[in-house]
Structure formats: structure tokens, C-alpha cells
Chain A
Amino acid sequence: MNIGLVTSYLIAGIILLAMLSMNMSVSHSSNEITLSQVTRERATTISDMMTNDMLKMGYNRKSKTSPILTTANNNKIEFRSNIDNSTDNSVEIVTWEFTSSAITNTTNPNDRLLLRTIRDASTGSIISQDSIKSGVIKFQFSYYNDYGKPRSDSMSTPVSASNLASIKQIYVSFKLQYGEKIDNSSPSRYVTTIWEKRFSPPNLEL
């Protein structure tokens, strides 16, 4: 029996297994990067839409809308704004709501429907509605009646109608997960991204 030959076959086998394992690791890492990039792009889309709406809160061409905020809950915000900057100064009601409706076309059991609705303030009719099914698993609003307060020092929700006018800052935080699992590990692991920002809409400043 040729010991040298056997040893070399044994080592070659180990090397082959290691190569296989390395290949799987690289492939897994690359897969995770792609998925996290996709998830982050989705988060950026939502944050861009949110930023666009938030900063226009209470806006109209000649003066602020009155009232500005009409609903301030931890999963829903509703405010008035001339969001399309229409020359007839017509005001729209903008609503962002994180619903309890599950997204059914993904394997992720945690994602739910996020709704952005624009309604005509005078008639109440829906102008547009965006059903965001990008894998949002958490979406939260917090409200502050002063600038720079610690995150835990938010107003209690739902903010009562009499306190809506005292809101100065709005903190938005959402968590997104990709619709499919990264691997078959248990418990299931999904690529996750978190976005958060505290808005200071200029029209809320007294």
C-alpha cells in the first residue's frame, strides 16, 4: 500500500470539501449583499416619499392650512397640505397608515401593508392611494411637543385633538424585511434594514 498516495488523496479530499464550503460561504455572502441592497433600496423609496410629505405638512401657497394635523397615532398620521401645489389653493388630506393586513405573496409572515392615501379635503374623495408592499414589518410614529426631547419623552398616543397643535417634531421609524428567507435556518432569518428620522416640519413651528 502506497502511504504517500493515500495521504495525498486524503488531503485532496479535505481540500475539496473546504473548497466546497468556501464556495458556499462566498455565494451566501454575495446573496445576502444583494438582498440587503434590494431591501435598502425599498427603504429609501419609502423614506423619500415620507420626507416629501412630511416637510410639506401644513403647506399652502399663501398661508398654512388650518388645521395642520388631524390624526396623530402611533401607526397612523393624517395631515392637511396642498401637496400638489395646485394654483387654486385646494388642500388635500395626506394619510400614512400601517395596517394590520398581512402581505400574502411572500413567505415572510411579519410583513404588513403600508398605505399612503391622498384625499380631497373638501369632498373626501380619494385622489390616489399607494399600497406599499415592500416588506414593512414595523412602522411607528412618535410625537414631541418640543425640540430635541429624548426619544422616550414622546407625547402619549393617540394625541388628543386639543394637543395636536402643540406637536413640533415627528419621529418616524420603520423596519423592512425582505420577503424571502436568507437560508433554511431555524428560526427563519430575513435580511432587515431599519430607517428612522425625526422631522421638524417648518409649518409646525409657531
Chain B
Amino acid sequence: MVGTAEVIETMAAMVIFSLILLSANRMIIRNTNMQVQGEVEQEVVALAQNIIEESRTKEFDELSKGAAPPAHIPGDFTAPGSLGPDDEAADPDDPNSDDDLNKDGTYQRSEFDDFDDYNGWEDTITTEHGQFKIWAKVFYVNTSTYTKSSSRTTFKKIQVFVSSKYLNKSSSDSAKYHFEFIRNYYAD
């Protein structure tokens, strides 16, 4: 048949071009995703920094709030297993040690008065870039290795985690962003 060679050549060109087109489309989609990711990651950093800066404005420990420091440091600080918002039993000498100021049975961020009250705190924050899930952990750390310590020390670490549905590791698994800050009782 006349022109068969041309048809075959054209078809080959179409196949090659389709592959190039697919590749270019993938590149455009990847670039767009990275643009969105960069924008949303800015927000993630700002949210985590907000929590860390806020926690730094609080006292180091529920029992270091008074005018005088505790008699034994760090022995008089809150027990490692009790880090978190405090109830009235946290400090027998302080009738106002209960962090549930409005007595509604929940501990709000606005009621926190010391650094470790953020332990176990979680919230969903709505921003211009959508909703972010944010939660925190606070624990004592070893004074030389800065790893988690099961006993009281003069160092506490806050870990802030942030996730968003727009930041995914895979289609079903959302990425968890992790920020840390170590606070020293004597550096306050």
C-alpha cells in the first residue's frame, strides 16, 4: 500500500510524543504540588513556632511559680508521670494550682500557666491555608544527652507535631512535621 511507511513513521512519532507529553505533565503536576507544599509548610513552621514561643512565656514548672524557688531542684519539680495541666492536688501549698480556671472540666490553652501544661495538648487550628492538627508533648530530658529522662532534671523538652491534609507522604498517609525546643530552668 502506498504511504504505509509514512503512516508507520507518524504513528511512531505519536508514541514518542505521547511519552514526552506524559513526562511534561508529570513535571507540571509535581511543580504545582511543590509550590503548594512550600506555601503550606510556611504555615506549619509558623504554627509550631507560635506554640513554642507561647510555652516559653510560662513558668518552668508548676512548683517554681512562687516568689521563691523550690527548696530542692530538680527534686521538687513535678513528677515525670504528672507532666501536663495540673489539678488542685498538684501543689498542696497553692490553692490556685488547678489549671481548670473556669471549672468546665477541660484544660484550655489560655489556662496553662507552666511549660509542661502543653504535654498532651492537641487542637485543630483553622488558618488561611486550611485546617491543621497540632499536638504537643513535654518531658524531662537528660542534661547531657538531651534524650527523654524518666527522672526529674532541670531540662524539659517540648515536641510540637503538626499535620495537614495538604501535606501527605502518600495518598493515605499524612506527613507529620516535628519541632522541638529544650528549656533549661536556670536559663530563664
Contact = CB atoms under 8 A, between A and B. Distances in A.
Q: Do the two chains bind?
A: yes
For chain A, which range describes its interface: under 10, 10 to 19, 20 to 34, or 35 or more residues? 35 or more
A195 B6 contact: no
Contact of B2 (A4, A29, A151): A4
Interface string A178-206: 00000000000000011111111010110
A4 to B, nearest CB: 2
A193 B42 CA distance: 10
Interface string B1-12: 111101101110
B38 interface: yes
B108 A148 contact: yes
Interface stretch (B86-94, B121-129, B148-156, B168-176): B121-129
Interface stretch (B43-51, B68-76, B139-147, B177-185): B43-51
Contacts of B6: 4-5, 7-8
B1 A4 contact: yes
B109 interface: yes
A8 B49 contact: no
A10 to B, nearest CB: 9
B128 A173 contact: yes
A12 B13 contact: yes
Contact of B3 (A3, A25, A202): A3
Interface stretch (A15-23, A77-85, A89-97, A107-115): A15-23
Contacts of B79: none
B10 A36 contact: no
A33 interface: yes
Interface string B73-115: 0000000000000000000000000000000000011101000
A60 interface: no
B46 A18 contact: no
Contact of A149 (B21, B39, B53, B110): B110
A29 B3 contact: no
Interface of A: 2-5, 7-8, 11-12, 15, 18-19, 22, 25-26, 29-30, 32-33, 36, 40, 43, 55, 146-149, 151, 169, 173, 193-200, 202, 204-205
